[in-house]
Each structure stands twice: as C-alpha cells, then as structure tokens.
Amino acid sequence: MAKSSRPSKQQTDNKAAKSPALQTRKFDADQSTDGERIQKVLARGGVGSRREIERWIDEGRLKINGKPVGLGDRLKAGDHLQINNRVVHWEKFVEQPTRVLLYHKPVGEVVTRRDPEGRPVIFTQLPKLAVSRWIAVGRLDINTSGLLLVTNNGELANRLMHPSTQMEREYAVRILGEVSEATLAKLKQGVELEDGKAKFDDIKFFGGEGANKWYNVTVTEGRNRLVRRLWESQEVVVSRLMRVRYGPVVLPERLKTHSFYELSEKELELLFEFAGMESDKPVINAKPEFKQHKSGK
C-alpha cells in the first residue's frame, strides 16, 4: 500500500487533500426484492458489530414496521426500523461510501470519543462525516504513537480486529540498554503475563547509538499494552513505542503526526480482499493524497 516507515523519517510536508467518496454500496436488483440482512447493514454503518446486533435482536431490542426482528430478517426499501424504540434511518448506511484513513497518532492523544480528563482525542483530528461515524480499528494507548486505521465501515473494522484474523501489528521500539540474545529468544518463545502467555512473532534489530537501541517487533494479538508488557517482563525499559504497520497497511514515511492519508480505490480493494470481504465496484477514480489537520498548534 504505502512504503514502510522508519521512526526517524517524518520530514516531508503534507499536501492539502481532497476527501473523495471512494467506494459506493447500493442495493442490486436481487437486494431490492429480498433486502439485506439487518446485522450487515447496521454493522456497515458503525452502529455495532454483527455479533452485538445479533445479541440485540435476541434481546428483542429491534423492530421492523412495529414487529420484533428475527435473526434472518432483512431490510427492504421502505421498512421502518427501530432500536430501543428509537427510529434508525438505515437507508443512509446502504448507500454510504466506504472510507479508510491512515491516521498518524502522536503521543498524548487518546483513542476515545470523549475523555473525562479532558485530554485530546483522535476523532477531533478527522474530517466530519455527514453519515455514520469514524470507527477506530483497534487502539493505541496514550503513550504510543504511529499508525491507526479508522473507517466508517463497521463490518470492515470488525473483520480487521477480530482475533480469528490473526492480524499482524508491527512496532518500532526504542529501548534503554543492551538486550541479550537469550532474552530475545525468550520473548519469541513466549512468557507468562498476568493475562496469559504471549510472545513476539518476530524481532529485528534496527541499530541505535549509545544507550538507546531500536527494534522492530511483530505481534498478532491486540491485548492491552502487550508490546510494553512483554519487554517489561524482562526488565527492559521502553522509552518510545510506535506502530508502523497493521496487517498489510504501513505508515507512510511522509505522513506527519496529527495527519491522515485516505486509501485509494485500489488500496481499498486490496484491504477488502485481505479481510476476506467482497468489495463493490468503485465508482470514482480517486487519487490518494495527504491531509495535514489544522489544529492551531
């Protein structure tokens, strides 16, 4: 997708960007008669994951045209949908374009919509959506920077985050001091943490001067603070942590912090394929560009 990023190469200025609609989903002739499964439509719109919506259906929280919804029910043009007796204008989820942004999160921002402590949140740095909302694909803690995928397609987000996909996450890690070969071997074999055994799937040395050394490590789990906890289990001090890859998507070298890059049509197609999902035919030939958010800093 984009070229791989090293921690020390974030120097090129970003260009102003357009935010085109990259991919459109519409009912085809068969869907106009039979409709589309409720959980698929609502997951696509970011209302919840398919599993959550199926649970809501089991709990009787959804109604179509005033009647309780069953798991196999479909939405058809003109249907009146309610969740917890509140009307949901689901038609907009059918026609909305799928968009995926690569956001370069800085240290100090949190991946949440509202923070009770008043800390800056990543969603204020993203363009406004007329329909639906941005969904973060996984999280980065406040002290971790780097690549964060966000999308308005809930079904795609859920697929990319699901443990069954074994999605690789690659991090650039700066540590203090030397690390023995025995310690590195142990981290690759696996160590016991408070929430179970974990390991690095790969560790590569990237050099460094003086007391600081850089490593790139890969994990396939999304457990909270997993990379830090693995190093700390061996009494290794992590002084900087940056995610540089999520699955097939890498952080572009020239993407500055507080900025985002929107995937092109071809990149979206590849991401859908990687996630094991079918993508609809793109309708706009969009050229990917970079966007620097004007935060007033």
In the chain, where the domains are located: 29-95, 168-246
For the chain, the DSSP string reads ------TT---SPPPP-------B----HHHHHH-EEHHHHHHHTTS--HHHHHHHHHTT-EEETTEEPPTT-EE-TT--EEETTEEE-THHHHHPBP-EEEEEEPTT-BSSS--TT---BGGGGSPP-SSS--EEES---TT-EEEEEEES-HHHHHHHH-GGG---EEEEEEEES---HHHHHHHHH-EEETTEEE--SEEEEEE-STTEEEEEEEES---TTHHHHHHHTTTPEEEEEEEEEETTEE--TT--TTEEEE--HHHHHHHHHHTT---PPP-S-PPP-EEE-----
Chain segment 98-140, per-residue pLDDT in tens: 899 999 999 999 999 888 999 999 999 999 887 778 999 989 9
Q: Which CATH number fits domain 168-246: 1.10.3080.10, 3.30.2350.10, 3.30.1330.200, 1.10.10.10?
A: 3.30.2350.10
- The single residue of 28, 34, 58, 141 carrying the catalytic annotation is 141
Look at domain 29-95 and name its CATH class. alpha beta
Mean per-residue pLDDT, 211-235: 94
Q: State the pLDDT at residue 39.
A: 87
* Amino acid occupying residue 87: V
pLDDT at 29 over 50: no
Which residues are CB-contacts of 5 (< 8 A; sequence separation ≥ 6)?
147, 244, 250, 251, 252, 253, 255
User: Which band of pLDDT confidence, cut at 50, 70 and 90, is reported for residue 7?
Assistant: very low
* Residues paired with 128 in a beta bridge: none
Give the residue-averaged pLDDT of 87-92: 86
**What mean pLDDT do residues 45-74 have?**
89
Mean pLDDT of the chain: 82
Greater model confidence, 271 or 19: 271
Is 195 marked active-site? Answer: no
**CB–CB of 122/148 below 8 Å?**
yes
198 or 7, higher pLDDT:
198
Assign 64 a pLDDT band (cuts: 50, 70, 90): very high
What is the distance between the alpha carbons of residues 59 and 280, in angstroms, rounded to a whole number?
32
- pLDDT grade for 43, boundaries at 50, 70 and 90: confident
Statement: residue 4 has pLDDT above 70: no
CB burial of residue 17 (10 Å; 0-12, 13-18, 19+): middle
User: How high is the pLDDT of residue 228?
Assistant: 95
